[in-house]
């Protein structure tokens, strides 16, 4: 795995690196840990999918960690960002930026170990998905990679996070069952299921996705659907906050 630490305080970044290396060693894994002394330095090197996790200090000289996270999100909606901070005053910003968690300074070994366990489980869960045939090719698409599933007449279309579109030789109902059993997915209208991790917001009767697409949401349940998504995002962040494990 590859991990980035972005912190302008060498003592703090060194302490976190030591804990992370101890975790990696204890679990028989291998890791490359890169340390950046500023958000600007990190953003100058960063490309999507470079890191399993990014530990980002909030208060730094120059660009703040929150502003850096916003820049990351412009390029990579799926980056796993963990804020490292002495204060939890930035809950609202973290919620908007889909931060994975907070780690409070000074970092505690037990806390980081639990967080890394969660991250590794998340990676394992990411392999769960659906199998189908499209254009005479067999595909396995992890749940994490799916943005939407839509019925279009007698056909079905799946869109993934890479922008690929699939039209599998299956019925909508056969795919609806496994997706609906996963808490990430929400049926917003008849024949339309979306991944709540990929929702940008609700407005004008539409469910807006982070890939730029929009889907009409059931008007009678519009406010309820929006609340379900907001509660999902809030609960995900709350459960991942320090002290919730």
Where residue 48 sits, what CATH number does that domain have? 3.40.50.2300
Residue with tokens 């069952």: 177
Share of the chain above pLDDT 90, in %: 55
Residues 68 and 38 in one domain: yes
Domain that holds residue 13: 2-125
Helix 109-125 / helix 10-26 crossing angle, nearest 10 deg: 60
Tokens of 98: 């889909």
Beta strands of 58-213 (E only): which ranges?
81-85, 101-104, 129-134, 137-142, 146-152, 155-160, 165-166, 185-189, 192-195, 199-203, 206-209
Residues 146 and 196 in one domain: yes
Number of domains in the chain: 2
Structure pTM?
A: 0.56
d(CA 84, CA 201): 27
Contact of 129 with 145, CB cutoff 8 Å: yes
Q: Considering the domain boundaries, does residue 77 fall inside one?
A: yes
Give the model's pLDDT for residue 27. Answer: 82
CB environment 81-106: b (16+ within 10 A), e (fewer): bbbbbeeeebeebbeebbbbbbbbbe
pLDDT exceeds 70 at position 94: no
């Amino acid at each position: 795995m590859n991990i980035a630490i972005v912190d302008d305080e060498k003592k703090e970044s060194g302490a976190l690196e030591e804990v992370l290396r101890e975790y990696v060693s204890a679990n028989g894994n291998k890791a490359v840990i890169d340390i950046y002394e500023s958000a600007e330095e990190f953003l100058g090197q960063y490309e999507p999918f470079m890191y399993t996790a990014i530990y980002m200090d909030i208060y730094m000289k120059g660009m703040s960690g929150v502003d850096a996270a916003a820049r990351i999100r412009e390029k990579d909606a799926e980056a796993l960002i963990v804020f490292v901070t002495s204060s939890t005053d930035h809950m609202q910003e973290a919620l908007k930026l889909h931060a994975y968690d907070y780690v409070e300074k000074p970092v505690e070994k037990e806390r980081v170990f639990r967080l890394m366990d969660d991250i590794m489980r998340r990676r394992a869960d990411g392999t769960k998905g659906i199998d189908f045939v499209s254009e005479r090719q067999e595909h396995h698409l992890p749940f994490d990679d799916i943005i939407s599933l839509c019925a279009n007449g007698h056909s079905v279309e799946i869109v993934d996070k890479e922008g690929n579109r699939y039209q599998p030789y299956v019925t909508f109902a056969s795919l609806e069952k496994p997706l609906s059993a996963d808490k990430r997915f929400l049926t917003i209208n008849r024949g339309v299921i979306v991944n709540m991790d990929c929702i940008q917001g609700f407005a004008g009767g539409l469910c807006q996705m982070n890939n730029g697409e929009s889907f009409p949401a059931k008007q009678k349940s519009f406010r309820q659907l929006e609340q379900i998504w907001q509660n999902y995002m809030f609960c995900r962040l709350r459960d991942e906050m320090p002290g919730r494990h």
